[in-house]
Amino acid sequence: MKSSFLDIMPSLTRHQASLAFSRSIAFSRILIIICAVVCSLGACAGESAKVRTHRATKQRQQSKASVTSQVTKSNKPLVLSDDDKLCVDKVNELAFILMKKQSAEEPFKSFTFSPLSVSYALAMASNGASGATLKEIEALTGPSTATNSFYSRYLAHFTPSVVMSNYLAMSKRFIINPDYIKAITGVYNAQVSNLDFGTSKATQQINDWIKQQSGGEFDNIVKETHPNEIIYLVNYLKFKALWENPFDKKFTFDREFINDDGTTMQVPAMFRYFRELYYEDNACQAVSMKYDNSEFSMLVVLPKDSKIDKFLTSMGANEFNRIISSLKAPERVVDLILPRFSTDCSMNLRDMLATLMPTAFNDNADFSRLSKAHSYINRFTQDTKITVNEYGTEASGVTVQSNMFKSINLPFNATHPFLYFIYDETTHAILQAGQFCGDN
């Protein structure tokens, strides 16, 4: 039985948001949708309407109970097992795979995305996969049993700076494996709805959930639903935190930013001096800036001589961990100049992921643990927004501009393209990553 899919999202686009957040120093919202659409209805043709109605009713009862479930926050320290460490390594490996692909697709342009959110979505999908398809997904995430265990506990340890929610929308026309529903609601705390796909009401319900979770940041993500769709999986992730040591707006001024293609532009550049974590070698400089009341920090990696695309080829999960492990407080004060920026990014990850897990996106897909109806993934999109700015205070103690130019301090002038990573200090998992090329 063959399957095909309905593309709903547009291909990769990008536009820049205005600098609208006056108090949040880093604010990001991420949305991922996996949409599995079956065009052949023969998968359910042998079932009677009575049996179908009975099972659908059971699913609705299960989903009603799951909607009100809440994540219980844990105060216990997160101790990583070997399987947990493997899951984190897979998140970071995937981060650099996707970064390199995106940078090669559109060089000299800023982008941002969340590898952690992608990994959560893949892990949810793996619970419905079998055979070669499951092996392909697990090659990117780690064993399904390990990811279920790690992500269920990791979700409970997120601080108030991080909020995640998951959503499973199921078609009333197809029978979804109860064990799959149990895994998605129990492990990932997903809310569940049974919808009449192909109706404007179903489309509106999905968009309403997304809009409600995002506080209106994302709206009309799904343009239409189709009667032959089986499920939608949606992962929403929000990060919002203030710097532990904020910048002072008095010392933000326009500076020339030189992109790798030779173009120049004026960007608002923030300034502060600090003795925080710093690293330097022959290839790059790196600074790590901690967020207040959060386990997360931002690592900014600034290439010295090479262009960002060439430098990125030398980066990977191991190199990232090496830089993190090599960070230390410098003997001299670091004069940090960092652009204030805001980036919106809509990424169609289907083609990128299809090269890594090909059967999941073609007729050979095996999602038999999801449903008896033959299906495969046709769409995998992520919409992301990030704003990085100074916390609006004048209490930093920086008094004169001469500090920006004195050679006795270590200069860190991010006036050409750089990479950034919001990472968990405990696990080193990369929540969000991107490159900035000046196109604010």
| Residue-wise pLDDT tens digits, 201-255 | 999 998 999 888 888 888 888 888 888 778 888 888 888 888 988 898 899 999 9
More confident position, 410 or 360: 360
What's the pLDDT at 431? 92
Q: Which CATH architecture has domain 13-74+112-240+344-387?
A: 2-Layer Sandwich (3.30)
Angstrom distance (rounded) from CA 38 to CA 174: 10
pLDDT beyond 50 at 35: no
Q: Do domains 13-74+112-240+344-387 and 249-341+392-436 have the same CATH topology?
A: no
Q: Name the least confident of 251-255, 260-264, 272-276.
A: 272-276
Angstrom distance (rounded) from CA 235 to CA 120: 7
The sign one gets for the Cα dihedral 88, 316, 423, 186 is negative
Q: Name the least confident of 49-53, 154-158, 168-172.
A: 49-53
Angstrom distance (rounded) from CA 184 to CA 121: 10
380-419 pLDDT, tens digit each: 888 888 889 975 211 111 112 222 233 356 788 888 999 9
What's the pLDDT at 75? 58
Question: What residues does each domain of the chain span?
Answer: 13-74+112-240+344-387, 249-341+392-436
Angstrom distance (rounded) from CA 337 to CA 251: 10
Q: What is the mean pLDDT of residues 149-174?
A: 85
Percent of the chain residues past pLDDT 90, beyond the cut: 46
Q: Which of 166, 209, 197, 170 is nearest to 59 (CA)?
A: 170
* Claim: this prediction has a pTM higher than 0.85: no
The mean pLDDT of the chain is: 78
Per-residue confidence band for 26, with pLDDT thresholds at 50, 70 and 90: low
What's the pLDDT at 66? 33
CATH value of 249-341+392-436 in 3.40.1280.10, 3.40.50.300, 1.20.5.510, 2.30.39.10? 2.30.39.10
Q: Which residue has the tokens 């933000």?
A: 252
Angstrom distance (rounded) from CA 214 to CA 205: 14
